[in-house]
């Protein structure tokens, strides 16, 4: 069991370069981050600031070109398929675009079934599996009976994203990376989805990394906010510190770019 004081996940000098020679671009330029168990952090930045690259490195989907990631106090080792599988039992993600996140050839059952199998429930009787899937779906206000034999693309965007949360419900990971999960969803579904996610977080006590460009979201949900600019964290702290009293000009700009209904939106800074 890892020490309580030990950060659950720690990244040191995490770097990712794309291309080489003249075309070399530094997507993530050596960032450090520490994540304690049960924390909710938000990484805010505009498009191209390296948020998603950072998230994918933490997830182990792309290999960093520099720096180290420590998971539960140990250097992360995902060199083999088995080790990756073990790592992914602990860390999961929800992606930005629900329309492209599902394999269009697979039915919803198989998406959820994969999660049960991953948690070692592959040999359970079919009834048991159906019970688990029904439970997961009802958690996100979906009816499993209506979803069986349906394909993901037959659902609405909000429903698909809820199904993703049902997936996390079944997988029960320690860390969840939510990469712009509400950016493709309309405003009404958005609140529902965030509510569900926070409810799930309270239920299974997981650590959540929100990746977003939405400063408002960052303010409401997170314990800690990181502002990312050109592959670097330029500012970090509690939401009150960072969003209400920003020091960096970049942060100020990000905040001023959010439209406010009660005052005129200053487009000159965009």
Interface positions with other proteins (CB under 8 A): 56, 59, 61, 81, 84-85, 88-89, 92-93, 95-97, 100-106, 111, 114-115, 117-118
Distance CA 190, CA 47 (A): 20
Q: Which is nearer to other proteins, 206 or 215 (CB)?
A: 206
**Closest separation in Å from C-beta 206 to other proteins:** 15
**Closest separation in Å from C-beta 211 to other proteins:** 13
**Closest separation in Å from C-beta 3 to other proteins:** 27
**Closest separation in Å from C-beta 35 to other proteins:** 18
Contact in structure between 30 and 13 (CB atoms under 8 Å):
yes
**Closest separation in Å from C-beta 94 to other proteins:** 9
Q: Which is nearer to other proteins, 115 or 242 (CB)?
A: 115
**Closest separation in Å from C-beta 55 to other proteins:** 11
Query: What is the per-residue DSSP string for the chain?
Result: ---SSS-SEEEEEEEEEES-GGG-EEEEEEEEEEE-TT-EEEEE--TTSSHHHHHHHHHTSS--SEEEEEETTEE----SHHHHHHHHHHEEEE-S-HHHHS-TTS-HHHHHHHHHIIIIITTS-HHHHHHHHHHHHHHTT--HHHHTT--GGGS-HHHHHHHHHHHHHHH--SEEEEESTTTTS-HHHHHHHHHHHHHHHHHHT-EEEEEES-HHHHHHH-SEEEEEETTEEEEEE-HIIIIIS--SHHHHHHHHTS--TTS---GGG-
């Amino acid at each position: 069991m890892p020490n309580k004081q030990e950060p659950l996940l720690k990244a040191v000098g995490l770097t990712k370069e794309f291309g080489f020679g003249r075309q070399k671009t530094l997507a993530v330029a050596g960032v450090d981050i520490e994540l304690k168990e049960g924390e909710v952090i938000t990484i805010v930045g505009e498009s191209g600031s390296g948020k998603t690259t950072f998230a994918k490195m933490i997830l182990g989907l792309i290999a960093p070109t520099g720096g180290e990631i420590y998971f539960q106090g140990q250097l992360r080792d995902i060199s083999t398929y088995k080790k990756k599988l073990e790592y992914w039992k602990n860390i999961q993600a929800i992606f930005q675009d629900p329309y492209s996140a599902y394999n269009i050839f697979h039915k919803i059952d198989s998406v959820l079934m994969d999660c049960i199998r991953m948690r070692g429930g592959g040999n359970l009787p079919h009834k048991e599996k159906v019970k688990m899937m029904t439970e997961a779906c009802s958690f996100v206000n979906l009816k499993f009976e209506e979803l069986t034999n349906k394909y993901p693309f037959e659902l609405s965007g909000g429903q698909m994203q809820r199904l993703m949360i049902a997936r996390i419900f079944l997988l029960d990971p320690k860390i969840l990376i939510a990469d712009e999960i509400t950016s493709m969803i309309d405003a009404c579904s958005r609140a529902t989805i965030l509510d569900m996610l926070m409810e799930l977080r309270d239920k299974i006590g997981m650590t959540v990394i929100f990746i977003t460009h939405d400063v408002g979201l960052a303010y409401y949900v997170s314990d800690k906010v990181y502002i990312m600019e050109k592959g670097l964290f330029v500012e970090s702290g509690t939401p009150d510190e960072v969003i209400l009293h920003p020091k960096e000009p970049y942060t100020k700009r990000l905040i001023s770019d959010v439209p406010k209904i009660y005052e005129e939106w200053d487009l000159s800074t965009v």
